[in-house]
Amino acid sequence: MDFAVIMAGGTGKRLWPLSRQTRPKQVLKLLDGDTLLRKCFDRLRGIFDLRNILVLTNAGYVDLVRENLPELPNENVIAEPAVRDTAGAIGLAAAVLHKVDPNANMAVVTADQVLEPKETFQRAMQSALAFVKANHEALVTFGIQPTFSSTQLGYIKLGQSAPCETAGDTIHVVEAFKEKPNEETAEEYLASGQYAWNSGMFVWRCATILDNLKKFLPESTEPLEAIATEWGKPDQQQTLQDWFPKLPKISIDFAVMEKAESVYGVNLPCRWLDMGSFAALVDILESDDDNNIVITGHSELMDSQNNIVATEEKNHLLALIGVENMIVAHSKDATLVCPIDQAHRLKELLERVQAHHPEHFL
Short-list 128, 56, 89, 107, CA closest to 245: 89
**Least-confidence region, from 75-79, 272-276, 346-350:** 272-276
**Least-confidence region, from 10-14, 261-265, 319-323:** 10-14
> For position 20, what pLDDT does the model report?
77
Q: At residue 128, does pLDDT exceed 90?
A: yes
> For position 269, what pLDDT does the model report?
86
Give yes or no: residues 244 and 323 share one domain: no
pLDDT tens-digit map of 245-261: 999 999 999 999 999 98
Q: pLDDT band at 284, cuts 50/70/90?
A: low
Give yes or no: residues 118 and 187 share one domain: yes
Domain boundary residue, one of 259, 274, 289: 274
The residues that bridge with 22 in the sheet, in sequence order, are none
Q: At residue 301, does pLDDT exceed 90?
A: yes
Give yes or no: residues 205 and 337 share one domain: no
> For position 24, what pLDDT does the model report?
78
Domain boundary residue, one of 274, 300, 324: 274
Q: pLDDT band at 307, cuts 50/70/90?
A: very high
Give yes or no: residues 192 and 219 share one domain: yes
Q: How deeply is 56 buried, as exposed, middle or buried, from its count of CB atoms within 10 A (0-12, 13-18, 19+)? A: buried
Strand extents, DSSP E, the chain: 2-7, 53-58, 77-80, 105-110, 113-116, 139-144, 155-162, 171-178, 195-205, 263-268, 271-274, 293-295, 298-302, 308-311, 317-321, 326-330, 335-339
Q: At residue 340, does pLDDT exceed 70?
A: yes
Q: pLDDT band at 180, cuts 50/70/90?
A: confident
Dihedral sign, CA of 37, 40, 44, 45? positive
> For position 19, what pLDDT does the model report?
78
> For position 167, what pLDDT does the model report?
67
> Does 201 map to a domain?
yes
Short-list 91, 92, 8, 1, CA closest to 51: 1
> Does 362 map to a domain?
no
Cα 298 to Cα 291: distance, rounded to the nearest angstrom: 17
Give yes or no: residues 208 and 326 share one domain: no
Strand extents, DSSP E, 96-244: 105-110, 113-116, 139-144, 155-162, 171-178, 195-205
Q: pLDDT band at 11, cuts 50/70/90?
A: low
What range does the domain containing 161 cover? 2-274
Short-list 288, 285, 287, 284, CA closest to 271: 284
pLDDT tens-digit map of 23-74: 777 777 776 677 888 989 999 998 999 999 999 998 888 888 999 899 999 9
If DSSP codes are grouped into helix, strand and coil, which group holds residue 115? strand
Domain with residue 158: its CATH number is: 3.90.550.10
Q: Count up the domains in the chain and report the number.
A: 2
> For position 357, what pLDDT does the model report?
79
> Does 255 map to a domain?
yes
Cα 5 to Cα 41: distance, rounded to the nearest angstrom: 10
**Least-confidence region, from 71-75, 85-89, 181-185:** 181-185
More reliable by pLDDT, 273 or 35:
35
Give yes or no: residues 345 and 198 share one domain: no
More reliable by pLDDT, 226 or 11:
226
> Does 208 map to a domain?
yes
> Does 87 map to a domain?
yes
> In the chain, count of helices (H) and strands (E)?
11, 17
DSSP state of 257: I
Give yes or no: residues 187 and 257 share one domain: yes
Give yes or no: residues 305 and 189 share one domain: no
> Does 314 map to a domain?
yes
> Does 47 map to a domain?
yes
**Least-confidence region, from 115-124, 282-291, 307-316:** 282-291
First to last CA, the chain: 41
More reliable by pLDDT, 123 or 29:
123
If DSSP codes are grouped into helix, strand and coil, which group holds residue 185? helix
Q: pLDDT band at 105, cuts 50/70/90?
A: very high
> What average pLDDT does the segment 272-286 reach?
73
Give yes or no: residues 212 and 348 share one domain: no
> For position 271, what pLDDT does the model report?
82
Give yes or no: residues 270 and 283 share one domain: no
Give yes or no: residues 42 and 175 share one domain: yes
Percent of the chain with pLDDT over 70: 95
The pLDDT mean for the chain works out to 88
Q: At residue 1, does pLDDT exceed 80?
A: yes
> For position 12, what pLDDT does the model report?
65
Cα 174 to Cα 161: distance, rounded to the nearest angstrom: 9
Cα 127 to Cα 270: distance, rounded to the nearest angstrom: 16
Q: pLDDT band at 311, cuts 50/70/90?
A: confident
DSSP state of 340: G
> Does 328 map to a domain?
yes
Give yes or no: residues 191 and 178 share one domain: yes
Write down the pTM of the prediction. 0.86
> What average pLDDT does the segment 342-356 reach?
86
Cα 113 to Cα 286: distance, rounded to the nearest angstrom: 17
Domain boundary residue, one of 274, 301, 330: 274
> For position 283, what pLDDT does the model report?
67
